[in-house]
Amino acid sequence: MSTRALRSAGYAAPAFVVALGSASFALLSTRSPTRLSLDHAWAAPTAGYPLGSGDAGVDILALAVHATARALGMAAVVASFGFVVGTLLGATAGLRGGAAQRWLLRACDLTQSFPTFLLALAVLSAVSVPSRWHIGAVFCLTVWAPFARISAVQARVIAQAEFVQAARALGATRATVVGRHVVPNLLGPVAIQLGTAAAGIVLGEAALGFVGLGPPDGVSLGALLEQGTLSMLRAPHVLAVGAVTVATVSGSLQLASEGLRYFVSGAR
């Protein structure tokens, strides 16, 4: 394996460990993130509660790990949706050029100029019981824009390549040119955005949970942070666990994105 691949794998390793560890714990452990024990409310870490307990005696370790697994699952689905939809839209518009590309870039500008968090607040406030499906759907409305912008610019460059011109001269349809020649050659630069998009979704989900618009079961990183702020003086361990968890998850995803960027571009 080349040095570049090894270094890229090193960047991606933290995200892999976090995802695999949280998923394995959530599937195999008997600890419940919703089980309450009033006698242990806001208790400090003990053998039975390695990270202590929170409001109404909820197990902080179970809450943090289950919330991480669910946040990563939603981030993976939404980021993948944005990657597929944005790449196809951008590749098609970039290949057509002219008005198609201009209108796509204007749509990207409009989408990215309006904060996703404010859009989520407006939409979820109108929902009686917001769920992860609602949160994911709101993020899907905006997550495609960065992928589309990068794809449009890259596709415009690739469209001038000789192999694309040759395919057109041989009578290949626009769909064939996009699917066989343009998209495969821009996947690398566009895929770099995956980690950044996933990290943004994790932070957005945490922010929504913090202001009370998270999943109704209370199993979210935002709910963990909210408990921490409510008990900063009597149980500071709760806020410490929440802050470290959010920083670890988002940071590992950003590192994975950096590793992919390094592998694709060969940056030193």
Confidence of residue 268 (pLDDT cuts 50, 70, 90): very low
Please answer whether residues 213 and 159 qualify as being in contact, where contact means their C-beta atoms are separated by less than 8 angstroms.
no
Nearest-10 Cα torsion for 92, 265, 198, 112: -50
Confidence of residue 58 (pLDDT cuts 50, 70, 90): very high
227-254 pLDDT, tens digit each: 999 888 889 999 999 999 999 999 999 9
C-alpha distances (whole Å) from 29 to each of 15, 48, 49, 191 are 21, 14, 14, 33
CATH number (domain holding residue 135): 1.10.3720.10
Alpha helices (H) along 114-192 = 116-125, 132-158, 162-169, 174-176, 183-191
**CA–CA separation, 128 and 126 (whole Å):** 6
Please answer whether residues 34 and 58 qualify as being in contact, where contact means their C-beta atoms are separated by less than 8 angstroms.
yes
In this prediction, residue 103 carries a pLDDT of 94
pLDDT mean over 103-127: 90
pLDDT mean over 2-17: 82
Q: Which residue has the higher pLDDT, 148 or 184?
A: 148
Number of domains comprising the chain: 1
In this prediction, residue 267 carries a pLDDT of 45
In this prediction, residue 265 carries a pLDDT of 59
Percent of the residues in the chain that have a pLDDT greater than 70, as a whole number: 97
pLDDT mean over 213-227: 92
Where b means 16+ CB within 10 Å and e means fewer, 217-231 reads ebbbbbbbbbbbeeb
Tell me the residue range of the domain where 112 lies.
3-265
The token pair that represents 199 in the structure block: 């990290």
193-205 pLDDT, tens digit each: 999 999 999 999 9
Alpha helices (H) along 192-235 = 193-210, 221-230
78-100 pLDDT, tens digit each: 999 999 999 989 988 888 888 98
Please answer whether residues 131 and 97 qualify as being in contact, where contact means their C-beta atoms are separated by less than 8 angstroms.
no
Q: Which residue has the higher pLDDT, 38 or 251?
A: 251
pTM of the model: 0.89
**CA–CA separation, 240 and 237 (whole Å):** 5
**CA–CA separation, 42 and 54 (whole Å):** 5
Confidence of residue 2 (pLDDT cuts 50, 70, 90): low
Q: At what angle do helices 183-191 and 60-96 cross, to 10 degrees?
A: 140
pLDDT mean over 168-178: 80
Lookup result for tokens 């940071």? 251
Tell me the one-letter amino acid at 153: V
Confidence of residue 39 (pLDDT cuts 50, 70, 90): confident
**DSSP-assigned beta bridge partners for residue 59:** 53
